[in-house]
Amino acid sequence: MAVPTVTIYYAANDTASIQTAQYIGRIESRGDYAFSLELPATKPVHLIVYDFIHQQVIVRITLGVYAAIQVQNRQLQTKKI
């Protein structure tokens, strides 16, 4: 490989391995990337960023989930679940 490469995986929880996670895509050092993924509406999203060259997990990312609960005066009010 000529450029640094990482792969991104969607995991069921924050302790899952890449062997049990769903492969989303690959990112190289240059470019803009967008990935489509159906996500659960009420659970946090766990991502694993894996260094393909060094064969190690770089970082685990957990994204919180927000649910829309009310619309008032054209402003969306949200509450963290």
Distances (CA, A) of 9 to 20, 33, 50, 51, 80: 9, 14, 8, 11, 24
pLDDT in tens, 10-66: 998 888 899 999 999 988 877 788 887 777 767 888 899 999 888 899 999 888 765
DSSP 38-69: ---SSS-EEEEEEETTTTEEEEEEEE--EEEE
**In contact, 44 and 80? CB cutoff 8 Å:** no
pTM of whole model > 0.85? no
What element of type H or E holds 32?
Answer: none
Rounded Cα gap, residues 36 and 9, in angstroms: 12
